Amino acid sequence: MTSKTRIIGLLAIGIGVLAAIGAGKLVSDHRKARLEDAFRMLTAGVERLNASDATAAQRQFRQSIDDFRGAGRDPVLALHHAFAARLRASASPLREVREVSLPDSRKGETLLALALADDSSLLAVATTQRLLCLRIENERWAQWTLPRPIESAGALHVDSATGRAFVVVGDDGRLLTADCRAPGASLVATASVTRNQAAVAWVDADEFMAWVAPAKPAGTQVNIAARPLPGARGEPIEMRVTFPGDANSLFADAAVIHSIAKVGENILLFYGDANLLNDSDLRDESVLVISIDEPDRQTNRLVFPAFADEERGGKVRWLSTHVRRLLPASAPGRVYALTEGPPGVAILGPDAKPIDLHHDSLFSTEYRDGREIYDLSVRSSGSVAGMEVSHRRTGTRLHYQLPWRFKRAPAVAVISREGRHIVIANDTGDVLLIDVSISPS
């Protein structure tokens, strides 16, 4: 029996033990300490496994089992733990991992965005030329050619109940709808709500509404519109809000809105400088918080202050992180913001102040299991994709490399709300599907 085979057997025993323990609350400092010890051993084991040191990994995993036995089970960490080990220890193809590519690839086509249905049965993909849906169970694609090529998908959503996919085109504010379970049905397009101007958008999956605002408002007035998604009940909403008067005085060019979201009963507009680099002007990123019930009630907050960066030769540039898109997996009381400069995912609190920043992350979310909270993040470093699972109470972080084997580097990702389905893709349409809900045999 090889050391890798022994690891698989040991992990299977460990997962069986964890599943049998139950999810009870830690009732003593002793049990809490054992849990923390278990996490440390688990982390050390994964690190050794990442370094191809199977013997040391086996020793660390064996020590962690006894500590987990008395501390309570952890389903997400257990699944990720077993899955990470299987990636390295199994020579046979893994049913947890599937590689697919967009059908009928087209010259010059670029993948823009991904979206998973709540039940992870459907994957929606927006490209510069098409809207596609994948029925994950049988890997069947449906596709629709867009009325004209686009450069930006302002928002993308797919609904598990109706089977419909919705994309708000960032180029002009149109809403496009397709029925993923009826491939022969036509793509439905609505009129632009931003008068064919560039738009930022957010799909409220709970209320089945699309919120849209112009990316480049004229003057200090911004028209925000909400439209019921096709097939949903509801009345259109029109809001006219006042953009901060000092915003445009800070920059050489008029300020632009980078992103919009509806969080609770508020609308968030993230805005800043239109230029990514500027040698003389400050480039703060701010958020305008607007009450839906009382649009005149507004709060303006600084999110990311600008900072000076000195290049070689002594030239100074002013830089600022800005919010490119708000992720739909945002948890209550938190906002997950896809950022640039540096690229990653910023976790913002209810006051829009940064709590944490996952550098080089493609997508992040959180998973709650009773009192336990885990932060999940898909990262990209060059041509390598990795997964990070951290336990918020102990601060333990598990890192492991995902089996990305395509030539082009990963560019976009999405994680299901329960954290057990992960999808990663590159801009040419290669897609990696990972299902960690399948228990190892």
Q: How confident is the model at residue 69 (pLDDT cuts 50, 70, 90)?
A: low
Mean pLDDT of 404-428: 90
pLDDT by residue (tens digit) across 127-137? Answer: 999 999 999 98
The residue assigned the tokens 């800005």 is 322
69/427: higher pLDDT: 427
86 close to 96: Cβ distance less than 8 angstroms: yes
Q: Answer positive or negative: Cα dihedral of 28, 30, 31, 36.
A: positive
Nearest alpha-carbon partner for 212 in 221, 220, 224, 204? 224
227 close to 168: Cβ distance less than 8 angstroms: no
Q: Helices 54-69 and 3-21, interaxial angle, to 10°?
A: 10
What is the C-alpha to C-alpha distance for residues 275 and 252, in angstroms, rounded to an integer? 9
Mean pLDDT of 224-232: 93
pLDDT by residue (tens digit) across 305-352? Answer: 888 777 777 777 777 888 988 987 667 778 899 998 888 999 988 778
9/43: higher pLDDT: 43
Provide the pLDDT for residue 267.
93
Phi-psi region of 228 (alpha: psi -120 to 50; beta: other; left: phi over 0): beta
The b-or-e profile of 78-110 (16+ CB within 10 A means b, else e) is bbbbbbbbbbbbeeeeeebbeebebeeeeeebb
Provide the pLDDT for residue 4.
45
Q: What is the DSSP letter of 138?
A: T
- Token pair recorded at residue 189: 């397009």
Nearest alpha-carbon partner for 149 in 122, 170, 179? 170
What is the C-alpha to C-alpha distance for residues 82 and 434, in angstroms, rounded to an integer? 13
Provide the pLDDT for residue 15.
34
What is the C-alpha to C-alpha distance for residues 144 and 133, in angstroms, rounded to an integer? 9
- Token pair recorded at residue 216: 């480049």
Highest mean pLDDT among 196-200, 229-233, 370-374: 196-200
376 close to 367: Cβ distance less than 8 angstroms: yes
Question: Taking the model in full, what pTM does it have?
Answer: 0.82
Where exactly are the structural domains of the chain? Answer: 3-89
Task: Give the whole-number percent of the chain exceeding pLDDT 90.
Answer: 39
109: pLDDT strictly greater than 90 = yes
What is the C-alpha to C-alpha distance for residues 122 and 139, in angstroms, rounded to an integer? 10
Does the bond joining 295 to the residue before it have cis omega, within 30 degrees of 0?
no
The residue assigned the tokens 């500590």 is 67
The b-or-e profile of 382-400 (16+ CB within 10 A means b, else e) is eeebbbbbbbeebebebbb
pLDDT by residue (tens digit) across 254-296? Answer: 788 999 999 888 999 999 887 766 555 567 888 999 999 998 8
Q: How confident is the model at residue 435 (pLDDT cuts 50, 70, 90)?
A: confident
What is the C-alpha to C-alpha distance for residues 347 and 334, in angstroms, rounded to an integer? 7
What is the C-alpha to C-alpha distance for residues 125 and 111, in angstroms, rounded to an integer? 7
Q: What is the DSSP letter of 278?
A: B
Nearest alpha-carbon partner for 47 in 67, 33, 34, 64? 64
